[in-house]
Structure 1
């Protein structure tokens, strides 16, 4: 049985979500603030966390950072804020999904199922991708450059994996977005994607201004230009 941590300070909404999660067969631990949630994090292991961003004693961003230090399980943010900056910030620090209030509880249940399926696939699939001095170990969900771990955000890791799994293939921007979100709702536009690709280049390329791994295909999108071995 999957165990989910729900952090929501709105009592009525929290109870409604908790009831629906239990009805779907999940074990649920509920907290109403940052301090209480951190105590739950530290004493137990969770398969997924649903975090409200606005909390009385802090915010969901801090909780996400605390959570991700301990494991790579999924995080879904609940928020009343829909500005792109807030979306990008949540995804940048390791969030996996984002739903804006008010929302239908059934929609949240669908997103929970998607994230748990992704988690299960990561746990059962194991492959090592190597391209010159860049390596991805999917069993550890980590990437390396010259044998040193590269500090990647969740989306940067997904981007790198998508490119290396499709070496030498020109990927259109919308195709890349679909690959890194597994067909879920896309929370950022193509301009934001360009920002993420620039950040990824800064971390993996010897000379980011003259990229050798992720090259731009004019009028098409991007392509991983080096050979990749899989084992």
Structure 2
């Protein structure tokens, strides 16, 4: 590390290394602030800041009156994005009971959604919020936007977008996704039961019928539980 780096980073780097290589396994206690100041010859402020950074990275968690401990790192579950007709086949194949809640409402398209659906700004769209669960635990959030004539109904609860559009005589020819990571919003952290410091994967997915976008979604997935797997035909 450069000599100009803040001293707390020396503490962060060493503890992060110990967690990564298994020297500090899941559940192991992290030295207290007083112990850190003695071990690394840093001040109280630097020790406190180091613990905050490690917690923000999702590597450790605190217990009131007990101290900090190494957080359990769960195995990542693959979500195969080529399974277009059943997004949750992977979870169901692993024995999880997948359920979801949803509700729809008619809203004015925001500038971004209007652009994604090639609509006039403030044009009416049907917005549908989904919360997906596996064995009762929250797994994924999704918000879908469609033209009002394609809005899902109660009988459509278990039908994919491809099948629903087909019922309207619309053939989906392409699905385009982009993925980025970001800090979750407070409501997303609450809904997904995310620990402090865990990012989310944000997928923007749009269904196209030839050159016409007919549905677009924002999908939010916990970054510490899943890896997104794509298949690219050659």
TM tier, shorter chain? under 0.3
Bigger strand fraction = 2
TM-score (norm 1): 0.24
Larger radius of gyration: 2
